[in-house]
Amino acid sequence: MDKLAVIAVDGLVFASWLFLVSAGLSLIYGVLRILNVAHGGLFAVGAYAGASLVVAYSAAGLWPLGALLALLAAAVASGLVLGLVVERGVLRWTYGREPVMQLLVTFSVFLILEDLTKLLWGVSPYYAYQPYQLLGQARVAGIDYPVYSFLLLVVAGGTGLGLWWFVRRTRFGRLVVAVIHDPEISVAMGVNLARVYVTTFTLGAVLAALGGAFTAPMISVVPGIGVEVIVLAFAVVVVGGLGSLEGAAVGALLIGLVRAAAVHLVPVLELFTIYLVMAAVLLVRPLGLFGRIEARRI
Amino acid sequence: MGRGARGWFWLAVAVVAAVAVAGRTWAGAPRPSEVKVGIVTFLSGAAAAPFGIPARNAAEVLIEELNAGRVPAPYSTRGVGGVPIRPVVIDEAGGAEKQVAEFRRLVLDERVDLVIGYISSADCLAVAPVAEELRALLVLFDCGTHQIFEERTYRYVFRTHGHQILDNVGAARYILRIKPEVATIAGINQNYAWGQDSWNTFRDSMRRLKPDVRVLAEQFPRLFAGEYSAELSALLAARPDVIHTSFWGGDLESFLIQGLPRRIYERSTLVLTTGDTVLPRLGQQIPPGVVIGARGPHGALAPNVPLNRWFREVYTSRFNVRPVYPAYHMSQAILGVKHAYEKALAANRGVWPTREQVAAALRGATFETPSGTIRMALGNGHQAVEGVAFGITSRYNSATKEMELTRVLSFPAECVNPPEGMKSEEWIARGFPGAKCP
């Protein structure tokens, strides 16, 4: 019984992290139909920005819990700047082009961001563990968990609900939904497509940076962390159905729980669990859990 | 000119020519203006900060000091035999195939005299046969796999440090010395050759040395996973006496950052076989009671000999951080090469040696390094053996900004390396025949 509880908690913690690092990728694909490989680079910049801000904040000796706000601020600032620059500077020239070309462009942006992080922050690791230790421990089924892990659950849940509210309940969200369904008709009806695209991409970039910033306190922030995240985020988004936020949430939950079960029951399989889930889901539903079949436009 | 005079003229020409030819032989083949050494180490990617950069730094400072003739005895001659060393530094990132191509380029286009390189075992395994094919001298300086010289024999390939067997046999022996009552063990190691080999060696050694030891958990997360929440829960739930890990670099640091607040060290003794690299980085974060290894007598566990004191001093004053074990491994390779060249030069009575002569001189050689004496004792004299030392963290030293190590125990090379001609797995399975331990 204890084991089940532990598996559930570990699964939820990992799932919330997975959702946090993949929500931005899913959102951007859903609206712009671009698989944004630069997501990994945005994640890394968020992590570095978060780490350095937390280090500076902690050194200043201010209110400790403010370190969490520092993470949030770092994510929003770096996501806003980079999202705007990348969309306005690069991506908008690729709209309407071949998907392969868009993929290559985002990949090159990813490479540029990788080098940019090395240029700005060097190759030595950054540690920002203060927020991770700050909140203390909580005991579940006889095992200590850092409260920070549960904070991730809250952040991921809040992000998911916020996005849902934004897309379903706001006027701008309705415009986004219209664009998702048919960009051309939306333009004909007077929707400012460029504005929808730049807003969505920037929001996606902020989400990527948010994932990075809230990961930073748990890890040693080193060059190369972005690559790992693209693979995981892509798996989550494919399982859930490309472009579906609900899908990303369910995909993250499924992968998180299966992986936690593997770690506790058959650790040798851990490496394959993500791909096992992906293969199993795609066998039954080739477009992912929430993927929709679209009519081909001529 | 008369007949006799012409004869004298030709005799004089013959004598001058003979003297010139002989003189060349007496003075030896012309010495090159430099010894060009390819140095391959990670300059980018996850292995750069913990391993690649310290190794490059060690090469930089050591070659500079050697060329200036400032290294203490027995290495006080300038460069190698008076000829300056010129390093050509290459990034190891990009995978084994790229490294094979880069190696060919170094040897065929750059015409380096030898290559010192490789941190990744995959790169070592891929490049070694190519070196043999090109008859190019290759000194492997940091990779851990024991397979290289146990699977085949080489003429041009050497490794001047011990392989992973000594880390993990040494760790098992150390644990049983400081904690003889140990009954249960667990491991968390990266899911690729290095992690699997390290864990298998440790687990099998523990079982051999104390047959009633039980294994409670074997975790194998992905390389560079970075998130270990579930694995930590599994280890905490298993409550083993000892947790072994061969994690390195960012993975090791992330594991500690996540594990220490969850008090993973409280119920279990943590054994970090590459722990030396994190001592200067994580400082006070590391609690007392953690077993630290350095893949040999390196870093915090290096012997207190003049060469080590000198090396530590020049490295620290240049880079503002003390050398960790990859820096020591690099120093072993460079000093081994210098030793071999000068030995070959002496055996050749001052004639500049060929590659084959340098290889012959390095084969089976014994030389001094900051890590103590290195003997090329295995793999027909191509694979070094060294001892290994472990210690356990005690208290924070605010002067060095590191945890101090206590109960440091050293195991000699004969205790933690298989004898020549025996494969490591067989040596462990047969209960370490021939091992001489204090």
Q: What Cα–Cα distance (Å) separates residue B155 from each residue in A293, B25, B108, B224, B353?
A: 62, 27, 19, 35, 16
**Contact A228/B at CB under 8 A:** yes
How do the domains of chain B map onto residue ranges? Answer: 35-162+303-385, 165-294+387-429
Rounded Cα distance between A18 and A20, Å, is 5
Q: pLDDT tens digits, residue range B32-61? A: 999 999 999 998 877 888 899 999 999 999
**Contact A225/B at CB under 8 A:** yes
Task: Scan for tokens 């190369």, then name that residue.
Answer: A224
Report chain B's mean pLDDT, rounded to a whole number. 92
Q: Do A220 and B46 touch (CB under 8 A)?
A: no
* Mean local confidence (pLDDT), A269-295: 88
Task: Scan for tokens 């010894």, then name that residue.
Answer: B35
Q: With bands split at pLDDT 50, 70 and 90, how would you rate the model's confidence at B22?
A: very low
Q: Do B261 and A220 touch (CB under 8 A)?
A: no
**Contact A277/B at CB under 8 A:** no
* Mean local confidence (pLDDT), B178-202: 95
CB contacts of B93 in chain A (<8 Å) are none
Closest CA relative to residue B252, chosen from B49, B433, B395: B49
Q: pLDDT tens digits, residue range B333-366? A: 999 999 999 999 999 999 999 999 999 999 999 9
Share above pLDDT 70 across residues of chain B, in percent, rounded to a whole number: 93
Strand partners, A137: A146
Q: pLDDT tens digits, residue range A69-115? A: 999 999 999 999 999 999 999 999 999 899 999 999 999 999 999 99
pLDDT at A294: 67
* Beta pairing class for B291-293 and B269-272: parallel
* Mean local confidence (pLDDT), B409-435: 94
Which of A219, A227, A260 faces B230 most closely, judged by CB atoms? A260
Element holding A137 (H helix, E strand): strand A137-140
Torsion angle of C-alpha atoms B310, B311, B316, B319, degrees rounded to 10: 140
Rounded Cα distance between A75 and A206, Å, is 6
Q: Is the pLDDT of residue A260 over 60?
A: yes
Q: With bands split at pLDDT 50, 70 and 90, how would you rate the model's confidence at B3?
A: low
Which residues, including other chains, have CB under 8 Å from residue A276's CB and lie 6 or more apart? A258, A269
User: Residue A146 corresponds to which tokens in the numbers above?
Assistant: 């850092």
Lowest mean pLDDT among A18-22, A179-183, B42-46, B293-297: B42-46
Q: Do A118 and B44 touch (CB under 8 A)?
A: yes
In chain B, which residues touch A (CB < 8 A)? Answer: 44-46, 48-50, 53, 191, 217-222, 224-227, 229-231, 233-234, 236-237, 249-250, 253-254, 257-258, 261-263, 281-282, 285
Which residues, including other chains, have CB under 8 Å from residue B78's CB and lie 6 or more apart? B66, B67, B68, B69, B84
* Mean local confidence (pLDDT), B115-137: 95
Radius of gyration from C-alpha coordinates of chain A:
19
CB contacts of B236 in chain A (<8 Å) are 143-144
DSSP letter string, A5-72: HHHHHHHHHHHHHHHHHHHHHHHHHHHH----TTHHHHHHHHHHHHHHHHHHHHHHT--TTHHHHHHH
pLDDT at B46: 78
Which of A124, A259, A264 faces B49 most closely, judged by CB atoms? A124
Q: Do B226 and A228 touch (CB under 8 A)?
A: yes
The dihedral of CA B9, B13, B15, B16: what is its sign? positive
CB contacts of B249 in chain A (<8 Å) are 220, 222
Rounded Cα distance between A106 and A34, Å, is 9
pLDDT at B36: 97
CB contacts of B237 in chain A (<8 Å) are 2-3, 6, 142-143, 264
Interface test with A, best of B44, B254, B401 (most A CBs within 10 A): B254
CA distance B53 to chain A (A): 9
Which of B49, B234, B236 faces A123 most closely, judged by CB atoms? B49
CB contacts of B253 in chain A (<8 Å) are 125, 127, 219-220
In CATH terms, the superfamily for domain B35-162+303-385 is Response regulator (3.40.50.2300)
* Mean local confidence (pLDDT), B188-196: 92
* Mean local confidence (pLDDT), B403-426: 94
Which chain A residue's Cα is nearest to B224? A228
Are B158 and B375 a contacting pair, CB within 8 Å? Answer: no
pLDDT at B339: 97
- Decide whether B35-162+303-385 matches B165-294+387-429 in CATH topology: yes
Report chain A's mean pLDDT, rounded to a whole number. 93
∠ CA B431-B432-B436, rounded to 5°:
135
Q: Which of residues 158-217 of A touch B (CB under 8 A)?
A: 215, 217
CB contacts of A138 in chain B (<8 Å) are none
Are B256 and B279 a contacting pair, CB within 8 Å? Answer: no
Share above pLDDT 70 across residues of chain A, in percent, rounded to a whole number: 98
Q: pLDDT tens digits, residue range A209-228? A: 999 999 999 999 988 889 88
Q: Is the pLDDT of residue B1 over 90?
A: no
Torsion angle of C-alpha atoms B35, B41, B44, B50, degrees rounded to 10: -130
CA distance A150 to chain B (A): 12
pLDDT at B223: 87
CB contacts of A129 in chain B (<8 Å) are 257, 285
pLDDT at A242: 87
Count CB pairs under 8 A between chains A and B. 124
**For domain B165-294+387-429, which CATH number applies: 3.40.50.720, 3.40.50.2000, 1.10.10.10, 3.40.50.2300?**
3.40.50.2300
* Mean local confidence (pLDDT), B305-311: 96
| CA atoms within 13 A of residue B406's CA, in its CB half-sphere | 9
CB contacts of B261 in chain A (<8 Å) are 132-133, 137, 144, 146
Q: Do B237 and A14 touch (CB under 8 A)?
A: no
Which of A9, A124, A267 faces B219 most closely, judged by CB atoms? A267
The dihedral of CA B327, B48, A117, A149: what is its sign? negative
Q: What Cα–Cα distance (Å) separates residue A128 from each residue in A51, A75, A287, B402?
A: 5, 14, 39, 18
Q: With bands split at pLDDT 50, 70 and 90, how would you rate the model's confidence at A123?
A: confident
CA distance B45 to chain A (A): 6
User: Residue A249 corresponds to which tokens in the numbers above?
Assistant: 């949430």
CA distance B236 to chain A (A): 7
CB contacts of B281 in chain A (<8 Å) are 125, 127
Which amino acid, B388? V
pLDDT at B24: 45
Rounded Cα distance between A54 and A59, Å, is 8
Closest CA relative to residue A232, chosen from A38, A19, A79, A51: A19
Q: Do B257 and A219 touch (CB under 8 A)?
A: yes
CB contacts of A264 in chain B (<8 Å) are 230, 233-234, 237
Q: Is the pLDDT of residue B20 over 90?
A: no
Interface test with A, best of B229, B267, B268, B324 (most A CBs within 10 A): B229
Q: At A143, is the secondary structure helix, strand, or coil?
A: strand
Element holding A181 (H helix, E strand): helix A171-181
Q: pLDDT tens digits, residue range B240-272? A: 999 999 999 889 999 999 999 999 999 999 999
Q: Do B227 and A14 touch (CB under 8 A)?
A: yes
**Contact A294/B at CB under 8 A:** no
Are B137 and B156 a contacting pair, CB within 8 Å? Answer: yes
CB contacts of A252 in chain B (<8 Å) are none
Q: At A297, is the secondary structure helix, strand, or coil?
A: coil
Which of A2, A145, A271 faces B220 most closely, judged by CB atoms? A271
* Mean local confidence (pLDDT), B260-287: 94
How do the domains of chain A map onto residue ranges? Answer: 23-224
Which amino acid, B277? T
CB contacts of B219 in chain A (<8 Å) are 263, 267, 270
Share above pLDDT 90 across residues of chain A, in percent, rounded to a whole number: 80
Lowest mean pLDDT among A63-72, A104-113, A204-213, B303-312: A63-72
Are B323 and B313 a contacting pair, CB within 8 Å? Answer: no
Q: With bands split at pLDDT 50, 70 and 90, how would you rate the model's confidence at A171?
A: very high
Element holding A139 (H helix, E strand): strand A137-140
* Mean local confidence (pLDDT), B221-227: 90
Instruction: Name the pTM for this structure.
Output: 0.90
Cα–chain center distance at B319: 20
**Contact A118/B at CB under 8 A:** yes
CA distance B165 to chain A (A): 22
pLDDT at A296: 59
User: Residue A62 corresponds to which tokens in the numbers above?
Assistant: 């201010």
pLDDT at B17: 56
Q: What is the 3-state secondary structure (H, E, C) of chain B?
A: CCHHHHHHHHHHHHHHHHHHHHHHHHHCCCCCCCEEEEEEECCCCCCHHHHHHHHHHHHHHHHHHHHHCCCCCCCCCCCECCECEEEEEEECCCCHHHHHHHHHHHHHHCCCCEEEECCCHHHHHHHHHHHHHHCCEEEECCCCCCHHHHHCCCCCEEECCCCHHHHHHHHHHHHHHHCCCCCEEEEECCCCHHHHHHHHHHHHHHHHHCCCCEEEEEECCCCCCCCCHHHHHHHHHHCCCEEEECCCHHHHHHHHHHHCCCCHHHHCEEEECCHHHHHHHHHHHCCCCCEEECCCCCHHHCCCCHHHHHHHHHHHHHHCCCCCHHHHHHHHHHHHHHHHHHHHHHHCCCCCCCHHHHHHHHCCCEEEECCEEEEEEEHHHCEEECCEEEEEEEEEECCCCEEEEEEEEEECHHHHCCCCCCCHHHHHHCCCCCCCCC
* Mean local confidence (pLDDT), B385-405: 95
User: Residue B394 corresponds to which tokens in the numbers above?
Assistant: 């005690």
CA distance A17 to chain B (A): 9
